[in-house]
A and B are shown apart, each in its own frame.
Chain A
């Protein structure tokens, strides 16, 4: 089976006030299906940039990015939007739900952009919400939900298009520890169900959920560690 994601010699340079910042400075990385990866590193190490790159929110200054055979580094804005819509599910630290919409409608949003009919949309969105244990809260708005519940809505939204990868940026960063544990349980479960998950975190114990940890430093991969033993849904 072909690689899911392949990054070759990826560089991302920013021009800040005439000075070139090398946020990513030659990244080679291959990710396979059903991997559970955590990306770590101190702030300024380039982990956000790498996540944006993998999430197709950004394109490299140099290098080759292949996503399931599609050449992301050559894509224009509309193609990037399309690949984000079809293949990537985002989970953000601050949830980023639409405040005026119910949980169900929030989960429907990616399906609207995928041009899916209303009845299919509702069915899929409900299924996704049930899979994160929110069948009781579908018609609640974000401000009527707890932090943990909001993040679960966000996970349902990330899942709803059957993406190839789920990208979670500090998914527990804004949660109390109990909710954080719940969220990690859900991510573990999703991984066991066959999903590819990429976590960006600076918490060691969160990163421990993953099978493979990539440590970044100064825009380069410092370490790429595969755990010998797979942790089963703690």
Chain B
């Protein structure tokens, strides 16, 4: 049977390369199909890994108590607007009342510019407590130091800046103990945060600055937007969340029938949101790109019908010489599969190099499984679209086929 295999391979290659322009045009459909499917898959998997990486900055074991839900609030905006603010001391109360709290950090945040001489960086800065570092595993001071409890209480004008801010304001010098201005207030830079990269490839996590909450409240706003970060000491997030939820309702003085006027956000809610978006975009994308593969398959089927028709006489001769139906079937099936396989490899090669290009702007890289899957998919398309024409060839009556001109 090996002899037959090589013979079929030789015939198929002869047929494919004997009709170059026809083969190229036919294969193009599959090339485009495989290219779009692989590229789509590559982008989705790139998105996944970015998301995974970005999630780590939020921390899976961190709850963030805010006035509003990050996602999916079905409440009217005026109701949300009337919610009372989140108070700074919720953190301490939760620490006292809940058994699951490892660390708490109230945070107030706003946007603004940091100025140093002629240089200026638009950024976000927030005030928090020294405990913030304990609630955020991905945050770390690489140069200098973080502020102290004393500095927090006394409202010292000290600033810990993100990597991007440091690069922007201090291109060629050490920022430590240098002074910058926020509005008219002068701050001393005491530390630089480790770079974390971009969140989902969208905005930089390094473009930020941290100051003591005491300072923030004194200089900017006592009643501003406040979140409380809670780091849990358990992996049983649901139970912990349940308990904290109960305590929060109690702190808010809500009666049993009253609606929540606060939100507990966590990375899981973002993850759930992301998954549903991914499913919608990825599913639709893959479906649409798979359609192009099907169109490519139809092209293959069409050209195989032509090929069978053209070679009717040859089929008759081969049958007269003793080729069985399955041998003829194999010959044409091989041809269809071979076109698809070559097209699949080309498409995958293109997708691979394109994903390298895209990687310059958006994280993407082709997973090996996807590559193997794409190749297998193109082989399957070859089989499926080659089957009917090949079967037709195999079933030809040898006498009719021999007589065919």
Contact = CB atoms under 8 A, between A and B. Distances in A.
Interface of A: 52, 55, 57-58, 77-78, 81-82, 84-86, 90, 92, 96, 98, 100, 109-110, 112-118, 121, 157, 161
B23 to A, nearest CB: 15
B321 A84 contact: yes
Nearest to B6: A118
Interface in B277-324: 313-314, 316-324
Contact of B323 (A52, A55, A81, A161): A81
Interface in B319-337: 319-327
B115 interface: no
A197 B233 CA distance: 96
B7 interface: yes
A95 to B, nearest CB: 10
A176 to B, nearest CB: 22
B59 interface: no
A82 B324 contact: yes
B327 to A, nearest CB: 6
B3 A98 contact: no
A92 B316 CA distance: 12
Given A52-B399, A115-B3, A86 B320 contact: no
Interface of B: 1, 3-4, 7, 14, 18, 313-314, 316-327, 398-399, 402
Contacts of B1: 115
B402 A96 contact: yes
B320 A116 contact: no
8 contacts: A57-B320, A81-B324, A84-B322, A85-B321, A85-B322, A112-B7, A113-B327, A115-B3
Contact of B324 (A52, A77, A96): A77
Contact of B317 (A52, A85, A98): A98
Given A100-B14, A109-B321, 5 more contacts: A77-B325, A82-B324, A109-B318, A112-B4, A115-B3
B386 to A, nearest CB: 20
Contacts of A55: 320
Contacts of B4: 112-113, 115
Dominant secondary structure at the B interface: helix
Given A96-B313, A100-B14, A112-B3, A90 B320 contact: yes
Nearest to B4: A112
A113 B323 CA distance: 6
List 8 tightest A-B contacts by C-beta distance, closest first. Answer: A85-B322, A113-B322, A81-B324, A96-B317, A110-B321, A112-B7, A78-B324, A57-B398
Nearest to B313: A96
A96 B317 CA distance: 7
Contact of B322 (A82, A96, A100, A121): A82
Contacts of B7: 109, 112
A121 B3 contact: yes
B371 to A, nearest CB: 34
Given A92-B402, A115-B4, A116-B3, A81 B18 contact: no
A77 B319 CA distance: 10
B35 to A, nearest CB: 32
A162 to B, nearest CB: 13
Contacts of A81: 319, 322-325, 327
A233 B123 CA distance: 105
A39 to B, nearest CB: 16
Nearest to B324: A81
Nearest to A109: B321
B15 to A, nearest CB: 9
- Which of B1, B7, B14, B321 has the most chain A CB within a 10 Å cutoff? B321
A118 to B, nearest CB: 6
Given A98-B314, A112-B3, A115-B3, A86 B322 contact: yes
Contacts of B319: 57, 81, 84
Contacts of B323: 81, 85, 113
A217 B242 CA distance: 100
Contacts of B313: 96
Given A57-B399, A96-B402, A84 B320 contact: yes
A111 B398 CA distance: 19
Contacts of B320: 55, 57, 84, 90, 96
Given A57-B399, A96-B402, A98-B314, A113 B321 contact: yes
Contacts of A116: 3
Contacts of B318: 109, 113
Contacts of A121: 3
A161 B322 CA distance: 11
A114 B18 contact: no
Contacts of A113: 4, 318, 321-324, 327
A55 B314 CA distance: 17
A143 B398 CA distance: 24
A35 to B, nearest CB: 22
A52 B402 CA distance: 11
Contacts of B314: 98
Contacts of B325: 77-78, 81
A90 B3 contact: no
Nearest to A81: B324
A128 to B, nearest CB: 13
B340 to A, nearest CB: 22
A161 B321 CA distance: 10
B18 to A, nearest CB: 7
